[in-house]
Structures are given as C-alpha cells and as structure tokens.
Amino acid sequence: MKIAVMAGDGIGPEIMAEAVKVIDVLRRDGLKIETESALVGGAAYDAHGHPLPPATLKLAQEADAVLFGSVGGPQYDTLARELRPEKAILGLRKECDFFANLRPATVFPELAEASSLKSEIVAGLDLMIIRELTGDIYFGEPRSVTGEKGNRVGINTMHYTEAQIRRIIHVGFKTARQRNKRLCSIDKMNVLEAMQLWRDIAIEIAPEYPDVKLEHMLVDNAAMQLVRNPKHFDVMVCGNMFGDILSDEASMLTGSIGMLPSASLDANGKGLYEPIHGSAPDIAGKGAANPLAQILSLAMMMRYTFNLPEAATRIENAVRKTLGSGLRTGDIARKGEKVCTTTAMGDAVVANL
Ligand code: NAD
C-alpha cells in the first residue's frame, strides 16, 4: 500500500504528524504500508512557485491513495487564482478523476452536546453523503451573463450525462452495501429534466443491488429531513450542487468541524482523503488543532481504498475510546472543560490503538 502524504499549510503539518503516528502503529502491527511525502498548496508555492508542482502530481498518480492535510492561508489570498493553494485540490481531483466525494456525518455519543440540534436527535448519527464532483450546473454549458445593465441575463446549465450519473449511483449502492444497506437518491425530478434522468437511472440500476433498499427524495424535502430526523438516512447520493449544500448542512449536525473526514474517489477506489476543514490559520502553530478528522480520514482510506474494514474500525474505536476518556481539544471542549494539545490527542489515540 503506497500512501502519498501531503500535509499542506497552516495546521496541516501538525495534524498530519498525528495521523502518521497512527500509520506507524499499523505498520508495526503488520500492514505493509509505504509512505512518501510531498509539498502541496502554499508550502509548494513557496518552494517551487506552484501549488501543485509536477513531482507532487506524479506522486499522487503513482500512489494508491493520498492522505491530504489542508491548504491555504491569508498570505496567498492576493495571488493569481491559478496559483492559489486551493487550486491544488481541484488539480488533483481533475488529474486523478476523483469524481465521487464521500462525506460522513458521524456524531460520537460523547460529543452529541456539541450539535446545535437537540442531542437526542443527533446522538449516534451515522450518515454518509455522496456528492458527484465533475458534472452539474457548476460545469454545464452554456454559462454567461449577457445584455446591457438593466436587462442582463445570467445563465447556467444543469448538465449530466448518463455515464456520469451511472457511475455515481453505483458508488452510492456499493457504499450502502458496506454500511446499513439503505440508499436515498436525491433529485428534483418534479421540475428538472436532468433530474428526471437521474431518477430513471437510479431505478434502472437498483435491480443490480437487490440487497440495498433504494429510496428517492426531492432535495427540498431532504434538506428538511436532515434537521428533522437525520437518523432516517444511511447513504445519500446527490448531484454536485445538491451534494455541496446538503453535505455542509449535514456536517453542522455534528457540531464539530475538527472531527469530520472525507474522501474523493476514482472509479477504481483510489482516493484522496482529507479533513473537511481548512488550514485554520487562526490556530496554526499553537498545538491547538484537533487531529481527529485527519486520523479518521486515514480510517476511511483503510475502508474504501484498501478494503480493510477491520483496520478502519480499529482506528475509529481508538478515537471513540479517546473521546470517552474525556480528552478534548479546544474546538470540542465545553465551557470550563480542560483542553489538551494536538499531540496529546494523537498520543492518546495511538495508546488506545
Ligand atoms: P477553516 O476550516 O480553516 O477554519 C474555520 C474555523 O474552524 C476556524 O476558527 C478554525 O480555527 C476552526 N478549525 C478548523 N479546523 C480545526 C481543527 N482541526 N481543530 C480545531 N479547530 C479547527 O476555514 P477558513 O478559516 O474559512 O479557511 C482557512 C483557509 O483554509 C483558507 O485559506 C481556505 O481557503 C482554506 N480551506 C482549505 C480547505 C482544504 O484544504 N480542503 C478547505 C476549506 C478551506
């Protein structure tokens, strides 16, 4: 198993160091893991003048999976758009054809109080949102603003090919199969032709997965159900725009941005795994960052790229045990609770492994 390690900027290197400790334990216990590191984002721009230098891209292409930290920082905000650190993620997604974004929203019972919803609604929540990344209104043509001031027209086009829909729906079914075998396909077929095609294809594919229960839901209803009864869902599969919005809504259910991992996968299960949060420049270098999203990203990698669910569960259980022992970084501590450092949290996970 070859893992490309790309820590990036801000808190990236601090939280990555903790995930690497976890890799070391897995390796010690017999998994044959090779790692190689590369600069990415602002760090790569500083050293090589580009956020995604050729050597970094080559490593991503050669590796079986990429463990990515976070990129960005205020010092890069005035650079030309194509040189900004965030371009590195878009470049990796495009060049490696990572078309399926998996974002779990899991609420560890120990942290149910951190949600803005009542704890009984979210305690034990464990849902997965799958978002298509290459199609939809973000890429569709035509797109333009035309006309004179006072009469301007803005146009974007929802565009999906059958092949794009098919491959993401398959990811939805396969993911549901590895979980609780329920898939909810999100669309807006009542008003959009492209979404009627989405639903038709989901229905067509369903007989290939007789063990998975397929349900359809209009996106407006899904947005409502996510706050009303989020535990209704196991896996949700969405187009690019609806997935963008619903996955952010779902992440707020958990109450902590420092806890949530994500994956972007290609058709063969190769993937880029990263926390959903950014580089947190406000706390970088202070030893205050929560490393758990990074560590849980590694667990996702074990499950979805390397097909090692036992290794994934082992890491997740170590995280759970660590939270159970009362350890809290600043982002998940309640008022008055003692706060630990990034390193202390990582060390505790390693001890619990
Ligand atoms: P952010 O996610 O970096 O931070 C938002 C807030 O959450 C901050 O208060 C931060 O301290 C806190 N936070 C985030 N992660 C944390 C962690 N692990 N532990 C404790 N607290 C944590 O979002 P932002 O401030 O809007 O963006 C900062 C930079 O990150 C920007 O340059 C942005 O473009 C970039 N960004 C990168 C990615 C990525 O690398 N995938 C994603 C989002 C934003």
232 and 279 share one domain = no
61 and 174 share one domain = no
301 and 249 share one domain = no
Task: Tell me the residue ranges of DSSP E strands in the chain.
Answer: 2-8, 34-37, 65-70, 100-106, 126-132, 144-146, 153-155, 182-187, 213-218, 235-238, 261-265, 271-275
Overall number of domains in the chain: 2
Parent domain of 185: 116-254
The pLDDT tens digits for 200-252 are: 999 999 999 999 999 999 999 999 999 999 999 999 999 999 999 999 899 88
Active site members? 138, 188, 220, 244, 248
**Which residue's CA is the closest to the ligand 1 atom numbered 13?**
280
Distance 279 CA to ligand 1 centre (A): 5
Distance 38 CA to ligand 1 centre (A): 21
- Ligand 1 nearest-atom number relative to CA 71: 40
278 lines ligand 1 (CB under 6 A): yes
pLDDT at position 353 is 96
The CATH number of the domain where 244 resides is what?
Answer: 3.40.718.10
pLDDT at position 254 is 85
Residue 170 covered by a domain: yes
Average pLDDT, the chain: 95
186 and 127 share one domain = yes
Distance 68 CA to ligand 1 centre (A): 14
Query: Sign of torsion, CA 95 96 99 102?
Result: negative
Q: Which of 202, 222, 254 is the last residue of a domain?
A: 254
**C-alpha to C-alpha distance for 211 and 260, rounded to whole angstroms:** 28
> 188-227 b/e with 16+ CB inside 10 Å = b?
bbeebebbebbbebbeebbeebeebebeebbbeebbeebe
Residue 263 covered by a domain: no
Average pLDDT over residues 37-63: 98
- Ligand 1 nearest-atom number relative to CA 74: 32
Residue 325 covered by a domain: yes
Helix (H, G, I), strand (E, B) or coil at 250: helix
Tell me how many degrees the CA angle 178-307-344 measures, rounded to the nearest 5.
Answer: 100
**C-alpha to C-alpha distance for 152 and 100, rounded to whole angstroms:** 35
322 and 282 share one domain = yes
Residue with tokens 């008022």: 335
Residue 139 covered by a domain: yes
From 257, 294, 319, the mutation candidate for ligand 1 (largest count of ligand atoms within 8 A of CB) is 257
pLDDT at position 111 is 86
CA atoms within 13 A on the CB side of 168: 32
Q: Which of 254, 283, 314 is the last residue of a domain?
A: 254
The pLDDT tens digits for 3-44 are: 999 999 999 999 999 999 999 999 999 999 999 999 999 999
DSSP state for residue 334 in the 8-state scheme: P
The pTM for the full model equals: 0.92
Residue 114 has pLDDT above 90, yes or no: no
**Which residue's CA is the closest to the ligand 1 atom numbered 10?**
280
289 lines ligand 1 (CB under 6 A): yes
The pLDDT tens digits for 64-110 are: 999 999 999 999 999 998 999 999 998 999 899 999 999 999 998 88
Q: Could you tell me which residues come within 8 angstroms of residue 185 by beta carbon, excluding any fewer than 6 positions away?
A: 169, 172, 198, 199, 202, 214, 215, 216, 217, 236, 237
